[in-house]
Amino acid sequence: MKKLLIVFSFILTAQVSFGQSIFDKFEDNDEVATVVINKKMFEMISSISDEVDGDDAKEFASVAKSITELKIFTTEDTKVGEEFKAVMKKYIASEKLVELMRVKDKGQSVKVYVREGNSENFVKELIMYVKDTDGQNVLMTLTGNIDLRKIGKIADKVKGAESLKNIKVKTK
């Protein structure tokens, strides 16, 4: 019985420690600007869809309803930018995310990885890493039940998300 209790304690401890993201350590770094939007904020955003006219607002509200968390980390510090890249690569390998797309144009590179969802048009997690010629590094994580078709439609309306509008959905 004592062994069972010890094993259960280890399993519980492991589950609790995974509650925090590997990327959360960047929040405490003075060289990193951080934006974190949690599920409650997305629920508030989606609730305004009834009060706002326009297809764009309704589309955005529909997407917001499916998102549980958005984290954006930005830095111009070269060392921290390399750390973004290293932590992201480690996370992608350990969590078995797949590359969705990669864009390189005029010194800017964008890489997008996803954790596949329950169907081909949905993902549970999307990670985007952007490195710009100006030395700007951006690491973004988005979690929820995300419809890639809707993300692609609204991406051209959201500053900084232009690369997402090029996402193509797999068809069978």
Give the orientation angle of helix 39-47 with respect to helix 55-65, to 10 degrees.
Answer: 150
Model confidence over 7-47: pLDDT tens digits? 444 443 433 334 457 888 888 888 899 998 888 888 887 77
The helix, strand and coil proportions of the chain, stated in percent and rounded to the nearest 5, come to: 45, 30, 25
In the numeric block, which tokens belong to residue 18? Answer: 């995974």
User: What is the average pLDDT across 134-149?
Assistant: 87
Model confidence over 74-126: pLDDT tens digits? 999 889 999 999 999 999 999 889 998 899 888 888 999 999 888 888 889 99
From first CA to last CA, the distance across the chain in angstroms is 51
Give me the domain span that covers residue 74: 23-38+66-166
Whether 149 is in a domain gets the answer: yes
Whether 103 is in a domain gets the answer: yes
Whether 89 is in a domain gets the answer: yes
Whether 48 is in a domain gets the answer: no
Whether 172 is in a domain gets the answer: no
Name which of 98, 139, 141 is nearest 120 in CA terms. 98
Whether 160 is in a domain gets the answer: yes
- 142 strand-pairing partners: 70, 126
Whether 53 is in a domain gets the answer: no
Q: Which residues contact 4 (CB under 8 A, 6 or more apart)?
A: none
Model confidence over 62-88: pLDDT tens digits? 777 888 888 999 999 889 999 999 999
**Domain tally, the chain:** 1
pTM for the structure as a whole = 0.73
Whether 147 is in a domain gets the answer: yes
